[in-house]
Chains A and B, each alone.
Chain A
Amino acid sequence: MSIRKTARLLVGLAGVGILVAACGTSSTSSSPGAPGGQGFQAPNLPALSALGQPEGELSVLAWPGYAENGSNDPKVDWVTPFEKETGCKVSVKPFGTSDEAVTLMKTGQYDVVSASGDASLRLIAAGDVEPVNTALIPNYADVYDFLKNKPWNSVNGAAYGVPHGWGANVLTWRSDKVTPAPDSWSVMFDANSPYKGKITAYDSPIYIADAALYLMKTKPDLGIKNPYALDDKQFQAAVDLLKVQRPMVSEYWSDYLKESQSLKSGDSVVGTAWQVTVNLTKSEGAPVESVLPKEGATGWSDTWMVSAKSPHKTCAYKWMNHIISPQANAQVAEYFGESPANAKACALTTDTKHCDNYHAGDAAYAAQIHYWTTPIVQCLDGRTDVKCKDYSEWTRAWTEIKG
């Protein structure tokens, strides 16, 4: 190739590169809105004022087990009745961590998302989700009051979604290999844990909060009030604790099926888990148990939110109304192993004690769980004299902890 041709080729390549790069850039401009009470600006987006005709399609981004259409278990299906009732054809995409949900919502391909508290505020701030007009959702009236207008699902009194249900990240163990039954997170954090090398922990930066929660109870002099509001010293202590834990961990999990398999094979005998994982592992014959340890636990209180870019908003509102209807809410709560948001769901669970077991409607118990929240620079516990570590620092620290 002659030099001239080569030069022309290179210029062409550079042009293509710049073009591709430019296409990949998302716009950073966002309209200034009312300053939020949580230290960030929520973009000024209108809520839907009236429902139209269902658009015939709905794309759902959900935690595994939240939108079951019978493909995992023919008896577990609350999507098909919704499709029949509204004519909205549902496609479901499950995700494994809140971070994954936030990334996927940015594509604008999904109409509704079941967001935990560590995703919801980020979605609101980025303008990926819009306020929800709860007057258009009849079942909203039956939702427990202590779940409405919380810092993770509203900004300045404007609701950004409907509460779905809540639960705790429980401590699970193989009852045949772990005796006596543990009642404290110390089996996972103590450097002399007898289950060294057989521990499994959640693979996400938000897991730092679990260490902070443990320190909150075991080292009160650190003064941690909220495991999501950590100043430099508190954050360092939590990170150090996790670095002590790391050599004792057999595996980190973000896929609940991988954790279930690891518990079944005995490669992990104790770990943090969702109740649904415990139920699944138990149903496959492995002797596992779970408990809410005495230190308390982190947990989730999930919210169904609607994408600002959704072209199927009527279907989205119909879905939100359906998923918190007594029947569907009872099915989800039982399948996933959590407390339903709708008070009327408790009468419809197949296990009549389900709501008692999960303390549904027990506001005092719910207050003990530290729900996943996105850590931001402004301390969430109200301190104004220090700066807290924000989520990007948590992410960086998580890489460092894993080493």
Chain B
Amino acid sequence: MDPRLDRDQGLRMTVSSPRYAVSSYLYRRPKLRLGMLLSAPFLWLGLAYLGALAALFVTAFWHTDSFTGQVVTEWSLDNFKTLFTDTVYRTITFRTVWIAALVTVIDAVIAFPMAFYMAKFASPRAQRILVIAVMTPLWASYLVKAYAWRTMLSGNGVLHWLLNPFGLDGPGYGLPATVITLSYLWLPYMILPIYAGLERLPNSLVDASGDLGAKAGRTFRSVILPLTFPAIVAGSIFTFSLSLGDYIAVKIVGGTSQMLGNVVYDNIGAANNLPFAATVATVPVVIMLVYLAAVRRTGALDNL
């Protein structure tokens, strides 16, 4: 039998089925097809992300009845006034930004040499193993890691035991402990983008720099660093934003210190003042928007 005939028969059979009708209808309308495909993610982005942000911003202008704790939907700028005039919130904001910046710098300094070795010196096999090794801590729960640091930083923990013979003492619970813990937690998020950036850097450029007489330091400053800078900035977006919003690590190892996240948490949990919590929560959002606007020019957003 002629195979073409057979195919025609098959076609005719599928033409009559409703599934074929739907698919041919969609085939003729590519925009509808795209719309249906994207509607679920867009609804998610719109409702869960941007809608929640809009609700947050609206709530920030309300206040609560001080005794019954119910939200009063009257518009006022009182929350923002408190936020800007009370020195304590300024102190906490600066402290939080400072911690986030310090964590970012520490992570960048630790991550760069590691990523450099992984991308340029390790064999392909070792590369794969190292990438897995960097990712392994992400398999463990955040809380497990934070509590592990709590135990290590304790007055009779491992750090104390290690440093004691040298006449030193561990940092104890406090801001240094918070910075150490956060730097540990977010390190993989810094290593991976830098590693990816360095991998894309052609070896020939480094060789050319050497051929033209540049020493190692000069090559690093004039060739490697400018070309991988967007990758470092991409990593910093993760470490900076993650540290900015963190409130659990500081509660576990931070002693008495508090960050912006704690103020938000306390206003929801303890003070039951949702509007003021919303006001405080807009601060990291604004800081991140400024940060993203600043780094947009470096091309870091293409490196995420």
Contacts of A399 in B (CB 8 A): 88, 258, 263, 266
Contact in complex: B86, A99 (CB < 8 Å): no
Does B289 belong to the interface (CB within 8 Å)? no
- Segment touching B, from A13-21, A163-171, A318-326, A330-338: A13-21
- Segment touching A, from B207-215, B235-243, B268-276: B268-276
Bound-complex Cα distance A24 to B50 (A): 16
Does A402 belong to the interface (CB within 8 Å)? yes
* CB contact under 8 A between A28 and B70, given known A205-B270, A250-B173: yes
Determine which of B52, B54, B71 lies in contact with A28 in the assembled complex, contact meaning CB atoms within 8 Å: B71
Bound-complex Cα distance A392 to B82 (A): 13
List which A83-123 residues lie within 8 A (CB) of chain B.
97, 99-100, 102-103, 106, 122
* CB contact under 8 A between A21 and B54, given known A204-B270, A395-B270: yes
Bound-complex Cα distance A13 to B65 (A): 29
Does A12 belong to the interface (CB within 8 Å)? yes
Bound-complex Cα distance A254 to B272 (A): 16
Contact in complex: A28, B58 (CB < 8 Å): no
Does A222 belong to the interface (CB within 8 Å)? no
List which B68-99 residues lie within 8 A (CB) of chain A.
68-73, 82, 86, 88, 91-92
| Nearest chain B CB to A295 CB, angstrom units | 23
List which B182-199 residues lie within 8 A (CB) of chain A.
none
Does B155 belong to the interface (CB within 8 Å)? yes
Does A26 belong to the interface (CB within 8 Å)? yes
Does B298 belong to the interface (CB within 8 Å)? no
Contact in complex: B54, A20 (CB < 8 Å): yes
Determine which of A18, A21, A106, A205 lies in contact with B69 in the assembled complex, contact meaning CB atoms within 8 Å: A106
Contact in complex: B67, A16 (CB < 8 Å): no
Bound-complex Cα distance A28 to B156 (A): 52
Contacts of B273 in A (CB 8 A): 392, 395
Bound-complex Cα distance A265 to B170 (A): 14
Contacts of B173 in A (CB 8 A): 250-251, 267
Contact in complex: A16, B51 (CB < 8 Å): yes
Q: Scan B259-281; emit 1 where CB is below 8 A from any A CB, else 0.
A: 00001001011111100000000
Contact in complex: A13, B88 (CB < 8 Å): no
Does B59 belong to the interface (CB within 8 Å)? yes
Bound-complex Cα distance A20 to B59 (A): 10
Which of A12, A266, A399: most chain B CB closer than 10 A? A399
Contacts of A73 in B (CB 8 A): none
Determine which of A12, A102, A125, A246 lies in contact with B46 in the assembled complex, contact meaning CB atoms within 8 Å: A12
For B270, the closest partner residue in chain A by CB is A99
Does A376 belong to the interface (CB within 8 Å)? yes
Q: Scan A11-44; emit 1 where CB is below 8 A from any B CB, else 0.
A: 0111011111100111110100000000010000
Does A249 belong to the interface (CB within 8 Å)? yes
List which B153-191 residues lie within 8 A (CB) of chain A.
154-157, 172-173
Bound-complex Cα distance A396 to B280 (A): 13
Contact in complex: B51, A20 (CB < 8 Å): yes
Q: Scan A232-272; emit 1 where CB is below 8 A from any B CB, else 0.
A: 00000000000000100111100000000000011100000
Does A391 belong to the interface (CB within 8 Å)? yes
Determine which of B68, B151, B263 lies in contact with A126 in the assembled complex, contact meaning CB atoms within 8 Å: B68
Does B5 belong to the interface (CB within 8 Å)? no
Does A400 belong to the interface (CB within 8 Å)? yes
Does A403 belong to the interface (CB within 8 Å)? yes
| Nearest chain B CB to A106 CB, angstrom units | 7
Contacts of B58 in A (CB 8 A): 17-18, 21
Contact in complex: A102, B272 (CB < 8 Å): yes
Contact in complex: B54, A17 (CB < 8 Å): yes
Contacts of B268 in A (CB 8 A): 103
Determine which of B54, B72, B88 lies in contact with A403 in the assembled complex, contact meaning CB atoms within 8 Å: B88
Which of B65, B73, B256: most chain A CB closer than 10 A? B256
Contact in complex: B270, A24 (CB < 8 Å): no
For B52, the closest partner residue in chain A by CB is A20
Determine which of B52, B155, B255, B272 lies in contact with A265 in the assembled complex, contact meaning CB atoms within 8 Å: B155
Bound-complex Cα distance A400 to B88 (A): 6
Interface residues, chain A, with chain B CB atoms under 8 Å away:
9, 12-14, 16-21, 24-28, 30, 40, 97, 99-100, 102-103, 106, 122, 125-127, 197, 204-205, 246, 249-252, 265-267, 374, 376, 390-392, 395-396, 398-400, 402-403
Interface residues, chain B, with chain A CB atoms under 8 Å away:
46-47, 50-55, 58-59, 64-73, 82, 86, 88, 91-92, 151, 154-157, 172-173, 255-258, 263, 266, 268-273
* CB-defined A-B contacts under 8 Å, sample of 8: A16-B46, A20-B47, A197-B172, A205-B271, A250-B172, A395-B270, A396-B271, A398-B270
Per CB-CB distance, the 8 closest pairs between chain A and chain B, nearest first, are A17-B54, A126-B68, A392-B66, A99-B270, A395-B271, A20-B55, A16-B51, A21-B58
